[in-house]
Structure 1
Amino acid sequence: MENSILTTVVLPISLAIIMLGMGLSLTINDFKRVFKHPKAALLGLTNQMIVLPIIGFSMALLFDLDPVLAVGLMLIAACPGGATSNLITHVAKGDIALSISLTAITSIATVFTIPIILSFALNYFMNETGTNIELPIGETMLQITGITIVPVTIGMLIKHYKQDFALKMEKSMRIASTVIFVAVLLGIIMANKEIIVDSFKQIGLVALGLNLATMAVGYFSARGFKLDLKQSISITIESGIQNGTLAIVVALSILGRLELTVPAVVYSLTMFFTAGFLMWYFGRRKD
């Protein structure tokens, strides 16, 4: 999937607007609660940083993937959730503060873990050693701050000083978030339909299996540790929604290999459809 105005400009701006809407429903106490009772956060981090790459590696072996596709699958499994997971959590009525906290922590942590996992995958599947992989730490942190932290903070400030306005806007922003999400997804699909069709033939089933497996692990581990439904929804989404854009950037800009983007493209689109189901199923409840 090639970078375009849609993916490099429209998508980040859309996500920033969505994050602003999320901030309207949050207070500082929501984030204090996450760190005061860290069980949910620790479980989410374990699932995303350790369990997900292990499942990705197992799927590559189980389906005997072509080495290039196997490395690409490991790359997407090593990526953090990204702001998209926060949007999906918001519409699905999960614990937004937990989702944002997990996204922020994993986005910083994976700057260090992606090179390790990717170096292992290149060596194991393609017998390539000594590949120098360095992710731009400053640029990654700036992107996280600009798209997530800043707009969420603005939304929280609006809620603090204009609570009545925030309450009125909360439902409208949730609907707008869904519309923006669908519109951007359809735009990306239409702009890349040829490569998408070919990519699904190569790895569609594996990508779907990885996505469903990671979400299932997220949900049932959360319920097994007796977390509430909102926390379970957040961990389910954070476990299965990966930052496909980051995977594509790493494959193209750092490794210079277009073929490694195929699993990221397929997984990104697959997770949008499964996430759409979660948004519909959990988002319609009236608790």
Structure 2
Amino acid sequence: MASLLFLPSAHRVWTRSSGTAKSPMNKSAAFAISARRLSVLRRADARGDDGISMKSSGPSPLQLFTNLFPLWSLGSSALGVVFPAAFVGVKDIYLTLGLGALMLSMGLTLSFADLSRASSKWRELCICFIGCYMFVPATALILTKLFTLSREFQVGLILLGIVSGGQASNLCTYIAGGDTALSVAMTTLTTFSAIFMLPMLSKVLIGQIIPIDVIGVAKSAVQVVLFPIFLGVGFNAFFPQATRRIEPGLPVAGILATCFLVTVSIAKTSAALKSYFLFLLAPVVILHLCGGLFGYLLPKSLSMGEKESRTLAIETAFKSPALSFVLATKHFQDFGVRVPSAVSIVALAPLVAMLAVYLRSKPVVEPSSPVPSESG
């Protein structure tokens, strides 16, 4: 089949505008050129479709590292569980820096046009808000009844269900081939919405108003989301060539930052995991999976694109268990309220990492636009 590619060009060499060759010498030379081309093409076919040796095909080391994200997440979780003393003393400032590094790595992949486009996708943003603050909290409430959890575990699971989305969802969206700019917009939306949604939902579902430090939440959102994102976008705008050179390594940087955050967070919550991890693993995992299914299937039913569906699946599955753990520790005396969040910290990163890598292996097939019929 490949030999057919150059036959028309050979024909054009010896068949001029007159339709015939001018001399036997021209015809002979033309076929000689064609023969050399076919010889080169056959050698290329022997090596690979694109003339590149098949020995050099396959994922690069950076791509392989990214594809093993679930393994690194599991390893980070195990490290925090087995050696908590080595990480429990890490100061909160380093967690803030780790989150900032994660968001900076994502900002470098975006442009101001991407952010402007994402902020105009009101349907997707509305679905994210509904999933985060209506569907997942309702699912958490149902699961507490299905698994007949004790009061403190009920409160802990509901608290996990009503918090905002986690920042690592942006990295997972990028790896999964979703819309990273839209993911950032959704994370920002749910983070700022937590200022008024958390107290309201906690009163309705738990029976206790959890006070929220409005200034603290806004300050944290600026520090760990907006500032590093806009710093990365600005660098990309002014130094695009430099950004293109480092872009293949950005997922790796994000994964390393995420693994650091997972290890330290688990080390700080290891005491809550010792007795009830297996007991609460099923309801916690089901909660996140239901959020992911809601986020993927609803936009699909509304004929939204594959990128948007992947983004919403990850955003609605990815809660912020570190935030719910802090709230449980600060506002509830019962130790058991912390346990669902601690279980989620261990389970969530590997779970969503596996989802992201799985989606990464699947091509993004968008709905085809209808072809207008020809009139007349």
TM-score of the superposition, structure 2-length normalised?
0.69
Contact 2:155–2:337 under 8 Å retained in 1: yes
Per-residue Cα deviation, 1:196-219 (whole angstroms, up to 9, x for no partner): 242313311111111111111111
Unaligned runs of 5+ in 2: 1-80, 365-376
Other structure's SS at 2:109 match: coil
Q: Does the C-alpha gap of structure 1 residues 251 and 187 become closer, same or farther in structure 2, counting only changes over 3 Å?
A: closer
1:258 to partner: Cα distance: 3.1
Question: Residue type matched to 2:178 in 1?
Answer: G
Aligned residue in 2 for 1:241: 318
Question: Residue type matched to 1:170 in 2?
Answer: E
Q: Does the C-alpha gap of structure 1 residues 93 and 57 become closer, same or farther in structure 2, counting only changes over 3 Å?
A: same
Contact 2:277–2:343 under 8 Å retained in 1: yes
Partners of 1:15 and 1:283 in 2: CA distance: 23
CA RMSD of aligned residues (A): 2.3
Aligned residue in 1 for 2:199: 115
Of residues 234, 239, 261, the one that matches 2:338 is 261
1:207 aligns with 2:291: no
1:36 to partner: Cα distance: 2.7
Contact 2:265–2:322 under 8 Å retained in 1: no
Report the count of equivalent residues: 280
Partners of 1:65 and 1:40 in 2: CA distance: 34
Partners of 1:209 and 1:99 in 2: CA distance: 22
Of residues 44, 49, 59, the one that matches 2:133 is 49
Who wins on radius of gyration, i.e. which is larger? Answer: 2
Question: Residue type matched to 1:259 in 2?
Answer: G
Question: Structure 1 vs Structure 2: percent identity of aligned residues?
Answer: 20
Partners of 2:355 and 2:249 in 1: CA distance: 20
Aligned residue in 1 for 2:244: 167
Partners of 1:74 and 1:191 in 2: CA distance: 21
Unaligned runs of 5+ in 1: 124-130
Q: Does the C-alpha gap of structure 1 residues 133 and 31 become closer, same or farther in structure 2, counting only changes over 3 Å?
A: same
Contact 1:79–1:246 under 8 Å retained in 2: yes
Of residues 356, 364, 369, the one that matches 1:279 is 356
Partners of 1:187 and 1:180 in 2: CA distance: 11
Contact 1:95–1:234 under 8 Å retained in 2: yes
Other structure's SS at 1:198 match: coil
Q: Which has the higher contact order (CA 8 A, sep 6+)?
A: 1
Bigger drift between 178-187 and 223-232 goes to: 178-187
Displacement over 6 Å in runs of 4+: none
1:91 to partner: Cα distance: 2.5
TM-score of the superposition, structure 1-length normalised?
0.89
Aligned residue in 1 for 2:27: none
Aligned residue in 1 for 2:100: 16
1:110 to partner: Cα distance: 1.7
Per-residue Cα deviation, 1:13-38 (whole angstroms, up to 9, x for no partner): 12211211111111121122223332
Other structure's SS at 2:242 match: helix
